[in-house]
Amino acid sequence: MRYLLVGWTRRTSFATAKALLARGHEVFVSDTVNNEEKQALLREISHPRLFGLLGRQEKEIIQEIRPDVVLPSPGVPLTIPLVQEAKKHGIEVYGDIELFYRLHPEVYYYGITGTDGKTTTTTLAHALISAYKPALVGGNIGLAIFEHDAAVSNIKEMVLELSSFQLEEIVHFRPRIAAFLNLAEDHLDRYPDMNAYLEAKKRIFMNQTADDIAIVNADSPYFDHIIEGVKSRILTFSRKKKATIFFQDGGVYYEDKLLVRQDDLLLKGVHNIENVMAASLVALSAGVPRESLQETLRNFRGLEHRLELVTVYNGVEIYNDSKATTVNALQKALESFDKPIVLIAGGLDKGLDFTLVRDLIHEKAKAVLLIGEAKDKIDTAWQFPHTIKLSSLEEAVNQALQIAKSGDVVLFSPGCASFDMFKNYEERGKSFKTLISLAIK
């Protein structure tokens, strides 16, 4: 068969290309960029059935090479003319998750999606399951899914973090246990409205049957819309009311029995209670015994850049929450503290509504330091009197440490994407931690 990969990166299409070539297929690679980095990836594989179309993504490629399948990378919108041309000619279009599923239908897949908390929940669910039985983890985190191409010959369970972009590209993919964590404004630069974004996320359930399990946040304002039409058995988690697994009086309860107390967890933040409940429900549904699960929960430290305690300096707690790229994530971070907050926020706007946390800012913040492209929009939305707009993260760190007193919290929770000033949220978070260490020396 002849495959056309649209988007050429090491993160996804590189491993996919190698897997297809190993199975005897022809692989063509299209990318809008033609630079040394992408050429080097082609040379690294150096295969007679691998053909580069770097610097090209026009729709005429379809007639030129007549592929059997078009495989867009998740970052490639399905609305581009090349993909639309393929569909017009009846050519199959799907992503690497779907391809992997077709090649390995015998694997038992767990899928986790949502606006916020996907990575922590996926990592924790994998930790809970793999402490009891072998399991792989991938998708939108860690290794590209085709890096596991050989491993699934021995390990038949896989936990996947799935973005809305990846879910747009599935056709038959069926996770036996699927969790939809939450939904809040995000990617409105790609989706026309919230309903379109919700429908993309909801595709995680579309191929499930009555033998499968759907895990849904009972507190979500979109709950009824999310479960509408779902054919699998629905289990729920909640911070506010009774559910299959729920939070009450400082403890997480499963089927009305205490599973773990919040004080016994190393994870900080109200949002992590939701992540713990969702991951636990995935693992319990997968057959992990309660006792095994409890030990792993108590020892799980969380992930870097997610409400990560950097240090305590002169009585001031300093947190790195660079992964907070949405208003919803910022809200959860603010709700996690009962101490005065010196907040550093801002970055690249994704078309989000910052007024949603205005009341919370006025309730929780001692001072707000804004940086990045979105700082004026945020300032207008919040109208917070103790706001300072700055030109760099370094300036914001220095100001925050001057303002904060013992008993306060310095919280770096941008509520925005990082790309106006940094390569990604990881680089942004590492920069914040470096600036803190330099400032307090």
pLDDT in tens, 190-207: 777 888 999 999 999 999
* Average pLDDT, integer, range 152-172: 95
Query: CATH second-level architecture of 98-299?
Result: 3-Layer(aba) Sandwich (3.40)
Per-domain residue ranges of the chain:
2-93, 98-299, 308-439
Same fold, 2-93 and 308-439: no
Q: What is this structure's pTM?
A: 0.78
Task: Check if the beta carbon of residue 414 is closer than 8 Å to that of residue 325.
Answer: yes
What stretch of H or E contains 431? helix 425-439
* Average pLDDT, integer, range 379-385: 97
For the chain, what is the largest distance between any 2 Cα atoms, rounded to a whole number of angstroms? 67
Q: Residue 306 — very low, low, confident or very high, per pLDDT cuts 50/70/90? A: confident
- Asked if the model's pLDDT at residue 224 lies above 70, the reply is yes
Strand order in the sheet with 50-54: 50-54, 26-31, 2-6, 69-72, 92-93
Q: Of 122, 124, 99, give the one whose Cα is nearest residue 111.
A: 122
Strand order in the sheet with 108-113: 136-139, 157-161, 108-113, 177-180, 213-217, 233-238, 245-248, 251-254, 257-261
Task: Check if the beta carbon of residue 307 is closer than 8 Å to that of residue 337.
Answer: no
* Average pLDDT, integer, range 32-58: 95
Token output for 78: 């399905």
Query: CATH second-level architecture of 2-93?
Result: 3-Layer(aba) Sandwich (3.40)
At 225, is the secondary structure helix, strand, or coil?
Answer: helix
* Distances 84 to 27, 192, 197, 335 between C-alpha atoms, Å: 20, 18, 20, 44
What stretch of H or E contains 196? helix 194-202
Query: CATH second-level architecture of 308-439?
Result: Alpha-Beta Complex (3.90)
pLDDT in tens, 76-111: 989 999 999 999 999 999 999 999 999 999 999 999
Token output for 160: 């996947």
Residues tagged active-site? 118, 140, 187
pLDDT in tens, 386-413: 999 999 999 999 999 999 999 999 999 9
More confident residue, 74 or 17: 17
